[in-house]
Amino acid sequence: AEKLLEIRKLTTGFITEKGMVKATDQISIAVDKGQTVCLVGESGSGKSVTSLAIMRLIDYAGGMILEGNINFHGQDLAAKTQEEMRVIRGNKIAMIFQDPMSTLNPVFTIGDQIAESLQLHQNKNAKEAAEMAVGLLKLVGIPAPEIRAKQYPHELSGGMSQRVVIAIALACNPELLIADEPTTALDVTVQAQILDLLRKLQAELGMSILLITHDMGVAAEIADRIAVMYAGAIVEEGTVEEIFDHPSHPYTIGLLQSIPGFEGGRGGELYTIKGTIPPIGQLPTGCRFHPRCPHAMEVCSMKEPPDFMITDDHRAACWLFQGKPVQADNKDEVR
């Protein structure tokens, strides 16, 4: 399959009172055309920083890219100027966030907001844009779109607002949609509807989706591939089937066991991984998960594990898999 986005060994950091601290550490992820990749982890694992880095909004958040590439269509976004990024952000990559109200402007009707995006990014005139806005509201499953187009954001429920935000994102006809916890603020039923909508839109429009979530249940619903992040690193990555059928990294297993009713879980009782994620800049030595890991061995506190290949298409950074081939990228590094 054709790669749309290929992040290679991306390290990002923030300047703090204690100096530069890494927020992501040599992460690699690929998203093929038409594919959905979920980046899963607890809050503070570096998921959102990764999306900000792809969009290069990290530059405005006090952070920076220290190392690595973000290849999008074979061009390195990490090397672009902000002027070049503005064109890419509006037209090829769109982003939606947890709170739709942070995107919507309270003083304009939702029809006007979608139309504005169409005028800006697709060179439509006002009349065409207004008509297309109604079409987009229909596409995202909003009933009575002509009437809704004339309404203001406060007149919509949370689920409807998130649909409008998706319509605005689609107005720039993106090849990649980055969705950061798009359903977290919604109740479970509405959450399922929004995930259905994203799946439907992807099938119709062929766009790629990078979805960021703390919830393995959400990833199970929508992902083709899952990358599990912990304390700034990807600790396991593979197809959704591999991750659910053969979870390998102890952290992934812990995340899965926290899903109520999951087979590998403890009879459905809610399991939580003991301890907390280390704050950025305070990583333990060796494996970053070792203080919380029920399987930690002597080597784990001393040496950082490389990515071991569980299968050709499934990797885990864990010493339990020593003996499996080391991922090609990791071979000549002492990590």
Which residues bind to ligand SF4, rule: CB under 6 A?
A: 249-250, 287, 289-290, 293, 295-297, 300, 305, 318-320
User: Taking CB under 5 A as the rule, does residue 24 contact Mg ion?
Assistant: no
Smaller CB separation from ligand SF4, 22 or 288? 288
Residue 48 touches which member of Mg ion, ligand SF4, none, C-beta under 5-8 Å by kind? Mg ion
Q: Are 231 and 283 in contact (CB under 8 A)?
A: yes
- Indicate the pairing of strand 19-32 with strand 176-180: unpaired
**CA–CA gap between residue 178 and residue 57 (Å, rounded):** 13
Tell me how far apart the alpha carbons of residues 216 and 210 are, in angstroms, rounded to a whole number.
14
262 binds, among ligand SF4, Mg ion, none (CB under 5 to 8 A by kind): none
213 in contact with Mg ion (CB under 5 A): no
In the complex with ligand SF4, the residue whose CB is nearer, 34 or 278, is 278
Q: Least CB distance from residue 203 to ligand SF4, whole Å?
A: 36
Adjacent-strand bridge partners of 32: 3
Annotate 18-35 with b (16+ C-beta within 10 A) or e (fewer).
Answer: eeebbbbbbbbbbbbebb
Shortest distance in whole angstroms from residue 305 CB to ligand SF4: 5
For residue 334, the minimal CB distance to Mg ion (Å) is 31
Which residues lie closer than 8 Å to 331 by C-beta, 6 or more apart? 306
Nearer of residues 181 and 236 to ligand SF4, judged by Cβ = 236
- Identify residues 34-73 at the interface with Mg ion (CB under 5 A): 48
Give residue for tokens 């009172």: 17
Two structure tokens written together for 287: 């494996």
Chain contacts with Mg ion (rule: CB under 5 A): 48
